[in-house]
Amino acid sequence: MSYTLQFGQIWPYLPSLLAGAWLSLQIAFVAFCGGLLIGTAGATALSFGAGPLRRLVRGYVTFFTNTPQLVQIYFLYFALPDAGILLSSYTAVLIGMTLNAGAYLTDIQRAGFESVRSSEMEAAEVLGFGRMQQVRYVILPHVARVLFPPLSNQYIIMTLGTSMAAIFGVEELTGRAFNINSQTFRSIEVFSVTAALYVVITLVATVVLGLIGRFAFRARMRLV
Amino acid sequence: MLDRLLTELPQFLGYYNVIFLAKAALATVALAAVGSVTGSLVGLLLAVARLTRSHWLAPIRWVAVIFTELFRRIPFLVTLMLVFFAFQLSGVDLPLFVVALTAVFLIAAAYLAEIIRSGFESVHRNQWDAAQAMNFSLIETVRYIVLPQAWRVILPPAFAFFVMFIKDTALASQIGVIELTYAGKVLNNKGFSAALVFGTLLLLYFFISYPLARLGAHLEARLAGARHQ
Protein backbone atom coordinates (compact mmCIF):
# COMPACT_ATOMS: atom_id res chain seq x y z
CA MET A 1 0.00 0.00 0.00
CA SER A 2 1.50 3.27 -0.95
CA TYR A 3 -0.41 6.48 -1.01
CA THR A 4 1.17 9.73 -2.04
CA LEU A 5 -0.41 12.92 -0.84
CA GLN A 6 -1.48 15.02 -3.80
CA PHE A 7 -2.65 18.37 -2.60
CA GLY A 8 -2.42 19.64 -6.19
CA GLN A 9 -5.75 18.01 -7.01
CA ILE A 10 -7.42 19.87 -4.14
CA TRP A 11 -6.35 23.43 -4.96
CA PRO A 12 -8.99 23.96 -7.68
CA TYR A 13 -11.60 23.24 -5.01
CA LEU A 14 -10.24 25.78 -2.52
CA PRO A 15 -12.70 28.56 -3.52
CA SER A 16 -15.54 26.11 -2.99
CA LEU A 17 -14.22 25.24 0.47
CA LEU A 18 -13.83 28.92 1.32
CA ALA A 19 -17.43 29.56 0.28
CA GLY A 20 -18.39 26.69 2.58
CA ALA A 21 -16.41 28.25 5.41
CA TRP A 22 -18.30 31.49 4.86
CA LEU A 23 -21.61 29.61 5.17
CA SER A 24 -20.34 27.92 8.36
CA LEU A 25 -19.60 31.33 9.84
CA GLN A 26 -23.05 32.56 8.86
CA ILE A 27 -24.80 29.56 10.43
CA ALA A 28 -22.76 29.96 13.63
CA PHE A 29 -23.47 33.68 13.76
CA VAL A 30 -27.23 33.40 13.16
CA ALA A 31 -27.63 30.51 15.62
CA PHE A 32 -25.52 32.35 18.20
CA CYS A 33 -27.58 35.54 17.91
CA GLY A 34 -30.83 33.57 18.15
CA GLY A 35 -29.44 31.63 21.07
CA LEU A 36 -28.37 34.86 22.75
CA LEU A 37 -31.94 36.21 22.53
CA ILE A 38 -33.38 32.99 23.97
CA GLY A 39 -30.62 32.93 26.58
CA THR A 40 -31.24 36.50 27.71
CA ALA A 41 -34.97 35.86 28.00
CA GLY A 42 -34.33 32.52 29.74
CA ALA A 43 -31.80 33.91 32.21
CA THR A 44 -34.11 36.84 33.01
CA ALA A 45 -36.97 34.39 33.58
CA LEU A 46 -34.77 32.24 35.83
CA SER A 47 -33.63 35.25 37.87
CA PHE A 48 -36.88 37.22 38.14
CA GLY A 49 -39.69 35.01 36.78
CA ALA A 50 -42.57 33.37 38.64
CA GLY A 51 -42.29 29.77 39.85
CA PRO A 52 -43.98 27.93 36.92
CA LEU A 53 -42.09 29.97 34.33
CA ARG A 54 -38.81 29.22 36.10
CA ARG A 55 -39.58 25.51 36.13
CA LEU A 56 -40.43 25.61 32.42
CA VAL A 57 -37.15 27.34 31.52
CA ARG A 58 -35.18 25.01 33.80
CA GLY A 59 -36.81 22.03 32.07
CA TYR A 60 -35.90 23.41 28.63
CA VAL A 61 -32.28 24.01 29.66
CA THR A 62 -31.91 20.61 31.35
CA PHE A 63 -33.38 18.75 28.39
CA PHE A 64 -31.38 20.48 25.67
CA THR A 65 -28.05 20.42 27.52
CA ASN A 66 -28.39 16.71 28.30
CA THR A 67 -29.20 15.42 24.81
CA PRO A 68 -26.98 15.45 21.70
CA GLN A 69 -27.51 18.28 19.26
CA LEU A 70 -27.29 15.77 16.39
CA VAL A 71 -30.27 13.76 17.66
CA GLN A 72 -32.23 16.96 18.31
CA ILE A 73 -31.76 17.94 14.68
CA TYR A 74 -32.61 14.37 13.55
CA PHE A 75 -35.85 14.73 15.44
CA LEU A 76 -36.66 18.09 13.85
CA TYR A 77 -35.71 16.92 10.38
CA PHE A 78 -37.16 13.39 10.30
CA ALA A 79 -39.90 13.30 12.95
CA LEU A 80 -41.66 16.62 12.46
CA PRO A 81 -42.79 15.78 8.89
CA ASP A 82 -45.02 13.11 10.50
CA ALA A 83 -46.81 15.97 12.22
CA GLY A 84 -47.03 17.85 8.93
CA ILE A 85 -44.14 20.24 9.58
CA LEU A 86 -41.69 19.97 6.72
CA LEU A 87 -38.38 21.75 7.29
CA SER A 88 -35.56 22.14 4.78
CA SER A 89 -32.26 20.71 6.02
CA TYR A 90 -30.84 24.22 6.40
CA THR A 91 -33.81 25.39 8.49
CA ALA A 92 -33.79 22.25 10.62
CA VAL A 93 -30.08 22.66 11.38
CA LEU A 94 -30.52 26.34 12.13
CA ILE A 95 -33.51 25.78 14.46
CA GLY A 96 -31.77 22.88 16.20
CA MET A 97 -28.56 24.82 16.74
CA THR A 98 -30.44 27.91 17.93
CA LEU A 99 -32.51 25.97 20.48
CA ASN A 100 -29.41 24.13 21.67
CA ALA A 101 -27.41 27.36 21.93
CA GLY A 102 -30.31 29.03 23.72
CA ALA A 103 -30.15 26.39 26.46
CA TYR A 104 -26.39 26.70 26.99
CA LEU A 105 -26.49 30.51 26.80
CA THR A 106 -29.34 30.64 29.36
CA ASP A 107 -27.12 28.75 31.78
CA ILE A 108 -24.08 30.93 31.06
CA GLN A 109 -26.00 34.20 31.38
CA ARG A 110 -27.76 33.13 34.58
CA ALA A 111 -24.35 32.57 36.17
CA GLY A 112 -23.30 36.02 34.93
CA PHE A 113 -26.40 37.67 36.44
CA GLU A 114 -25.78 35.93 39.73
CA SER A 115 -22.21 37.21 39.88
CA VAL A 116 -23.47 40.74 40.58
CA ARG A 117 -23.12 40.91 44.36
CA SER A 118 -25.86 42.43 46.48
CA SER A 119 -23.26 44.70 48.12
CA GLU A 120 -22.65 46.30 44.70
CA MET A 121 -26.35 47.04 44.34
CA GLU A 122 -26.53 48.40 47.88
CA ALA A 123 -23.55 50.65 47.19
CA ALA A 124 -25.33 51.96 44.07
CA GLU A 125 -28.47 52.61 46.11
CA VAL A 126 -26.49 54.43 48.79
CA LEU A 127 -25.03 56.64 46.07
CA GLY A 128 -28.58 57.51 45.04
CA PHE A 129 -28.59 55.74 41.65
CA GLY A 130 -32.00 55.32 40.06
CA ARG A 131 -33.12 51.93 38.70
CA MET A 132 -32.01 52.68 35.13
CA GLN A 133 -28.72 54.13 36.34
CA GLN A 134 -28.09 50.97 38.34
CA VAL A 135 -28.63 48.88 35.22
CA ARG A 136 -26.55 51.22 33.04
CA TYR A 137 -23.58 51.88 35.32
CA VAL A 138 -23.42 48.91 37.69
CA ILE A 139 -25.11 45.80 36.31
CA LEU A 140 -24.30 46.00 32.58
CA PRO A 141 -20.57 46.80 32.84
CA HIS A 142 -20.13 44.08 35.44
CA VAL A 143 -22.17 41.48 33.56
CA ALA A 144 -20.52 42.29 30.21
CA ARG A 145 -17.06 41.90 31.73
CA VAL A 146 -17.91 38.61 33.39
CA LEU A 147 -19.94 37.19 30.50
CA PHE A 148 -17.83 38.12 27.51
CA PRO A 149 -15.18 35.37 27.90
CA PRO A 150 -17.62 32.42 28.30
CA LEU A 151 -19.84 33.81 25.53
CA SER A 152 -16.96 34.05 23.07
CA ASN A 153 -15.89 30.55 24.10
CA GLN A 154 -19.39 29.31 23.30
CA TYR A 155 -19.20 31.08 19.94
CA ILE A 156 -16.03 29.15 19.05
CA ILE A 157 -17.63 25.87 20.15
CA MET A 158 -20.64 26.66 17.97
CA THR A 159 -18.44 27.44 14.96
CA LEU A 160 -17.02 23.92 15.31
CA GLY A 161 -20.54 22.57 15.92
CA THR A 162 -21.76 23.80 12.51
CA SER A 163 -19.88 20.88 10.93
CA MET A 164 -22.88 18.78 12.00
CA ALA A 165 -24.91 20.45 9.25
CA ALA A 166 -22.93 18.39 6.72
CA ILE A 167 -24.79 15.27 7.82
CA PHE A 168 -28.04 16.84 6.63
CA GLY A 169 -26.56 17.84 3.29
CA VAL A 170 -26.03 21.52 4.02
CA GLU A 171 -23.09 22.71 1.93
CA GLU A 172 -21.06 24.38 4.64
CA LEU A 173 -17.34 23.70 5.09
CA THR A 174 -17.59 20.04 6.12
CA GLY A 175 -20.46 19.44 3.69
CA ARG A 176 -18.32 20.71 0.81
CA ALA A 177 -15.46 18.52 2.05
CA PHE A 178 -17.75 15.46 1.83
CA ASN A 179 -18.74 16.40 -1.73
CA ILE A 180 -15.19 17.08 -2.91
CA ASN A 181 -14.07 13.83 -1.27
CA SER A 182 -16.63 11.85 -3.25
CA GLN A 183 -15.52 13.57 -6.48
CA THR A 184 -11.76 13.26 -6.07
CA PHE A 185 -11.25 10.48 -3.48
CA ARG A 186 -8.31 12.47 -2.08
CA SER A 187 -9.75 11.95 1.42
CA ILE A 188 -6.76 12.82 3.58
CA GLU A 189 -5.97 15.92 1.55
CA VAL A 190 -9.54 17.23 1.52
CA PHE A 191 -10.13 16.71 5.21
CA SER A 192 -6.76 18.07 6.32
CA VAL A 193 -7.31 21.24 4.27
CA THR A 194 -10.79 21.45 5.82
CA ALA A 195 -9.31 20.99 9.31
CA ALA A 196 -6.77 23.72 8.59
CA LEU A 197 -9.54 26.09 7.50
CA TYR A 198 -11.40 25.43 10.76
CA VAL A 199 -8.21 26.15 12.70
CA VAL A 200 -7.80 29.43 10.80
CA ILE A 201 -11.38 30.65 11.23
CA THR A 202 -11.48 29.79 14.95
CA LEU A 203 -8.07 31.40 15.52
CA VAL A 204 -9.26 34.58 13.81
CA ALA A 205 -12.43 34.50 15.90
CA THR A 206 -10.44 33.99 19.12
CA VAL A 207 -8.12 36.92 18.38
CA VAL A 208 -10.91 39.29 17.28
CA LEU A 209 -13.15 38.39 20.24
CA GLY A 210 -10.17 38.61 22.61
CA LEU A 211 -9.34 42.13 21.39
CA ILE A 212 -12.97 43.26 21.68
CA GLY A 213 -13.22 41.73 25.14
CA ARG A 214 -10.02 43.32 26.38
CA PHE A 215 -10.60 46.81 25.08
CA ALA A 216 -14.38 47.19 25.09
CA PHE A 217 -15.24 45.30 28.28
CA ARG A 218 -11.90 45.13 30.10
CA ALA A 219 -12.41 41.37 30.38
CA ARG A 220 -9.44 39.18 31.23
CA MET A 221 -8.92 37.14 28.07
CA ARG A 222 -6.13 35.22 26.48
CA LEU A 223 -5.60 36.15 22.85
CA VAL A 224 -4.39 32.72 21.74
CA MET B 1 -49.17 10.89 14.75
CA LEU B 2 -49.76 9.87 18.35
CA ASP B 3 -51.94 6.84 17.54
CA ARG B 4 -49.27 5.64 15.13
CA LEU B 5 -46.72 5.85 17.93
CA LEU B 6 -48.97 3.85 20.24
CA THR B 7 -49.58 1.10 17.69
CA GLU B 8 -45.84 0.79 16.99
CA LEU B 9 -44.76 0.89 20.60
CA PRO B 10 -45.32 -2.79 21.60
CA GLN B 11 -43.35 -4.01 18.62
CA PHE B 12 -40.67 -1.37 19.15
CA LEU B 13 -40.13 -2.55 22.70
CA GLY B 14 -39.53 -6.13 21.56
CA TYR B 15 -36.81 -8.16 23.27
CA TYR B 16 -34.19 -7.87 20.52
CA ASN B 17 -34.71 -4.14 20.01
CA VAL B 18 -34.27 -3.46 23.71
CA ILE B 19 -31.09 -5.57 23.86
CA PHE B 20 -29.82 -3.83 20.71
CA LEU B 21 -30.41 -0.38 22.21
CA ALA B 22 -28.90 -1.35 25.57
CA LYS B 23 -25.72 -2.64 23.90
CA ALA B 24 -25.55 0.51 21.80
CA ALA B 25 -25.94 2.69 24.90
CA LEU B 26 -23.11 0.76 26.51
CA ALA B 27 -20.93 1.43 23.45
CA THR B 28 -21.75 5.14 23.69
CA VAL B 29 -20.70 5.32 27.34
CA ALA B 30 -17.61 3.16 26.74
CA LEU B 31 -16.50 5.39 23.86
CA ALA B 32 -16.67 8.52 26.03
CA ALA B 33 -15.25 6.86 29.17
CA VAL B 34 -12.28 5.05 27.60
CA GLY B 35 -11.50 8.08 25.42
CA SER B 36 -11.59 10.43 28.41
CA VAL B 37 -9.46 8.21 30.67
CA THR B 38 -6.73 7.59 28.08
CA GLY B 39 -7.02 11.21 26.98
CA SER B 40 -6.50 12.46 30.52
CA LEU B 41 -3.29 10.43 30.89
CA VAL B 42 -1.83 11.90 27.70
CA GLY B 43 -3.30 15.29 28.62
CA LEU B 44 -1.34 15.16 31.88
CA LEU B 45 1.85 14.40 29.95
CA LEU B 46 1.16 17.31 27.58
CA ALA B 47 0.47 19.70 30.46
CA VAL B 48 3.69 18.65 32.22
CA ALA B 49 5.62 18.94 28.94
CA ARG B 50 4.53 22.57 28.70
CA LEU B 51 6.04 23.24 32.15
CA THR B 52 9.57 22.22 31.16
CA ARG B 53 12.16 24.98 30.90
CA SER B 54 15.22 23.27 29.36
CA HIS B 55 16.36 24.43 25.91
CA TRP B 56 16.76 20.85 24.80
CA LEU B 57 13.10 20.12 25.43
CA ALA B 58 11.82 23.09 23.43
CA PRO B 59 10.63 20.88 20.52
CA ILE B 60 8.56 18.80 22.95
CA ARG B 61 7.00 21.99 24.34
CA TRP B 62 6.14 23.11 20.83
CA VAL B 63 4.58 19.77 19.96
CA ALA B 64 2.47 19.95 23.14
CA VAL B 65 1.30 23.50 22.38
CA ILE B 66 0.50 22.76 18.74
CA PHE B 67 -1.31 19.53 19.62
CA THR B 68 -3.55 21.16 22.25
CA GLU B 69 -4.31 24.20 20.11
CA LEU B 70 -4.94 22.18 16.96
CA PHE B 71 -7.32 19.52 18.20
CA ARG B 72 -9.42 22.04 20.11
CA ARG B 73 -10.03 23.88 16.86
CA ILE B 74 -11.01 21.02 14.57
CA PRO B 75 -14.64 19.78 14.69
CA PHE B 76 -15.07 16.25 16.02
CA LEU B 77 -16.67 15.18 12.73
CA VAL B 78 -13.62 16.29 10.72
CA THR B 79 -11.19 14.63 13.17
CA LEU B 80 -13.29 11.48 12.91
CA MET B 81 -13.07 11.51 9.10
CA LEU B 82 -9.31 12.16 9.15
CA VAL B 83 -8.69 9.28 11.56
CA PHE B 84 -11.05 7.04 9.59
CA PHE B 85 -9.28 7.65 6.27
CA ALA B 86 -5.81 7.56 7.84
CA PHE B 87 -6.53 4.09 9.23
CA GLN B 88 -7.99 3.03 5.90
CA LEU B 89 -4.84 4.12 4.06
CA SER B 90 -2.45 2.55 6.53
CA GLY B 91 -4.12 -0.76 5.71
CA VAL B 92 -4.50 -1.74 9.35
CA ASP B 93 -7.77 -3.57 9.75
CA LEU B 94 -9.26 -2.27 12.99
CA PRO B 95 -12.83 -2.33 14.22
CA LEU B 96 -14.71 0.94 13.65
CA PHE B 97 -15.10 1.27 17.41
CA VAL B 98 -11.30 1.61 17.74
CA VAL B 99 -11.26 4.19 14.94
CA ALA B 100 -13.86 6.32 16.71
CA LEU B 101 -12.07 5.77 20.02
CA THR B 102 -8.86 7.15 18.51
CA ALA B 103 -10.67 10.30 17.41
CA VAL B 104 -12.26 10.75 20.86
CA PHE B 105 -8.86 10.13 22.45
CA LEU B 106 -7.14 12.81 20.34
CA ILE B 107 -9.72 15.45 21.16
CA ALA B 108 -9.93 14.41 24.82
CA ALA B 109 -6.14 14.63 25.19
CA ALA B 110 -6.15 18.18 23.80
CA TYR B 111 -9.06 19.44 25.92
CA LEU B 112 -7.92 17.69 29.10
CA ALA B 113 -4.37 19.00 28.66
CA GLU B 114 -5.86 22.50 28.73
CA ILE B 115 -8.05 21.68 31.77
CA ILE B 116 -5.07 20.20 33.62
CA ARG B 117 -2.90 23.16 32.69
CA SER B 118 -5.41 25.63 34.15
CA GLY B 119 -5.55 23.39 37.25
CA PHE B 120 -1.78 23.70 37.56
CA GLU B 121 -2.09 27.48 37.23
CA SER B 122 -4.53 27.53 40.16
CA VAL B 123 -1.74 26.37 42.49
CA HIS B 124 -0.15 29.41 44.10
CA ARG B 125 3.21 30.57 42.70
CA ASN B 126 4.76 30.30 46.20
CA GLN B 127 4.17 26.54 46.20
CA TRP B 128 6.16 26.16 42.99
CA ASP B 129 8.95 28.36 44.34
CA ALA B 130 9.05 26.46 47.62
CA ALA B 131 9.33 23.18 45.71
CA GLN B 132 12.17 24.59 43.67
CA ALA B 133 13.93 25.87 46.80
CA MET B 134 13.75 22.36 48.22
CA ASN B 135 15.36 21.05 45.06
CA PHE B 136 12.34 19.07 43.84
CA SER B 137 12.52 18.02 40.21
CA LEU B 138 9.63 18.98 37.90
CA ILE B 139 8.12 15.50 38.15
CA GLU B 140 8.43 15.51 41.96
CA THR B 141 6.88 18.98 42.15
CA VAL B 142 3.91 17.87 40.07
CA ARG B 143 3.58 14.54 41.88
CA TYR B 144 3.91 15.66 45.51
CA ILE B 145 2.94 19.34 45.52
CA VAL B 146 0.86 20.41 42.56
CA LEU B 147 -1.42 17.45 41.81
CA PRO B 148 -2.56 16.92 45.44
CA GLN B 149 -3.85 20.51 45.39
CA ALA B 150 -4.87 20.88 41.74
CA TRP B 151 -7.01 17.76 41.35
CA ARG B 152 -9.94 19.50 43.06
CA VAL B 153 -9.84 22.17 40.35
CA ILE B 154 -9.23 19.68 37.54
CA LEU B 155 -11.83 17.02 38.33
CA PRO B 156 -15.11 18.98 37.85
CA PRO B 157 -14.37 20.34 34.34
CA ALA B 158 -12.75 17.03 33.34
CA PHE B 159 -15.91 15.20 34.41
CA ALA B 160 -18.03 17.75 32.54
CA PHE B 161 -15.94 17.04 29.46
CA PHE B 162 -16.66 13.31 29.79
CA VAL B 163 -20.42 13.97 30.08
CA MET B 164 -20.24 16.31 27.07
CA PHE B 165 -18.56 13.59 25.05
CA ILE B 166 -21.32 11.07 25.79
CA LYS B 167 -23.45 13.37 23.65
CA ASP B 168 -20.80 14.28 21.09
CA THR B 169 -20.06 10.65 20.24
CA ALA B 170 -23.43 10.66 18.45
CA LEU B 171 -21.35 11.81 15.48
CA ALA B 172 -19.49 8.48 15.45
CA SER B 173 -22.67 7.02 13.90
CA GLN B 174 -21.48 8.68 10.68
CA ILE B 175 -18.65 6.20 10.18
CA GLY B 176 -20.84 3.27 11.18
CA VAL B 177 -19.90 2.67 14.81
CA ILE B 178 -22.80 0.87 16.45
CA GLU B 179 -23.57 3.32 19.23
CA LEU B 180 -26.87 4.78 20.36
CA THR B 181 -27.51 7.12 17.43
CA TYR B 182 -26.51 4.49 14.85
CA ALA B 183 -28.83 1.99 16.53
CA GLY B 184 -31.61 4.56 16.23
CA LYS B 185 -30.94 4.99 12.52
CA VAL B 186 -31.04 1.21 12.02
CA LEU B 187 -34.40 0.96 13.81
CA ASN B 188 -35.72 3.89 11.78
CA ASN B 189 -34.65 2.14 8.57
CA LYS B 190 -36.49 -0.97 9.76
CA GLY B 191 -39.68 1.05 9.50
CA PHE B 192 -40.32 2.43 12.96
CA SER B 193 -41.46 6.03 12.78
CA ALA B 194 -38.82 8.73 13.17
CA ALA B 195 -40.71 10.41 16.01
CA LEU B 196 -40.73 7.19 18.04
CA VAL B 197 -37.10 6.26 17.34
CA PHE B 198 -35.49 9.67 17.75
CA GLY B 199 -37.77 10.56 20.67
CA THR B 200 -36.58 7.37 22.41
CA LEU B 201 -32.97 8.26 21.60
CA LEU B 202 -33.39 11.71 23.14
CA LEU B 203 -34.83 10.13 26.29
CA LEU B 204 -32.09 7.50 26.51
CA TYR B 205 -29.34 10.09 26.13
CA PHE B 206 -31.09 12.22 28.72
CA PHE B 207 -31.29 9.38 31.24
CA ILE B 208 -27.58 8.66 30.79
CA SER B 209 -26.39 12.25 30.78
CA TYR B 210 -28.63 13.87 33.39
CA PRO B 211 -27.61 11.78 36.45
CA LEU B 212 -23.95 12.16 35.48
CA ALA B 213 -24.35 15.92 35.04
CA ARG B 214 -25.98 16.09 38.49
CA LEU B 215 -23.11 14.06 39.93
CA GLY B 216 -20.68 16.49 38.30
CA ALA B 217 -22.46 19.51 39.78
CA HIS B 218 -22.45 17.82 43.19
CA LEU B 219 -18.74 17.04 42.84
CA GLU B 220 -18.00 20.63 41.89
CA ALA B 221 -19.92 22.04 44.86
CA ARG B 222 -18.21 19.65 47.29
CA LEU B 223 -14.69 20.11 46.00
CA ALA B 224 -15.01 23.88 45.70
CA GLY B 225 -16.34 24.01 49.26
CA ALA B 226 -13.45 21.99 50.62
CA ARG B 227 -11.02 24.23 48.77
CA HIS B 228 -12.19 27.47 50.35
CA GLN B 229 -12.26 26.24 53.92
Indicate yes or no: CB of A74 within 8 angstroms of CB of B199. no
B149, HSE (Cβ side, Cα atoms, 13 Å): 15
Q: Quote ipTM for the complex.
A: 0.88
Residues A60, B216: Cα–Cα separation, whole Å:
19
For B213-227, the pLDDT digits (tens) are: 999 999 888 887 665
Average pLDDT, chain B: 90
Say what the pTM is: 0.89
Concatenated DSSP letters for A38-76?
Answer: HHHHHHHHHHHS-HHHHHHHHHHHHHHHTS-HHHHHHII
For B123-145, the pLDDT digits (tens) are: 888 988 999 899 998 888 989 98
Average pLDDT, chain A: 89
Q: Of A69, A78, A161, which is closest to B198 when you measure between CB atoms?
A: A78
* Exposed/middle/buried for residue B139 (C-beta within 10 Å: 0-12, 13-18, 19+): exposed
User: Cα-atom radius of gyration of chain B, to the nearest Å?
Assistant: 22
* Torsion B37-B40-B42-B44 (CA) sign: negative
Task: Just give the CATH number of A14-217.
Answer: 1.10.3720.10
Least confident among A132-136, B174-178, B201-205, B225-229: B225-229
Q: Does the CB of A152 have a partner CB in chain B at under 8 Å?
A: no
The residue in chain B having the minimum alpha-carbon distance to the alpha carbon of residue A75 is B198
Query: Mutating which of A191, A204, A207, A209 best tests the B interface, going by the most B Cβ atoms within 10 A?
Result: A191
Distance from CA of B133 to the nearest CA of A (A): 30
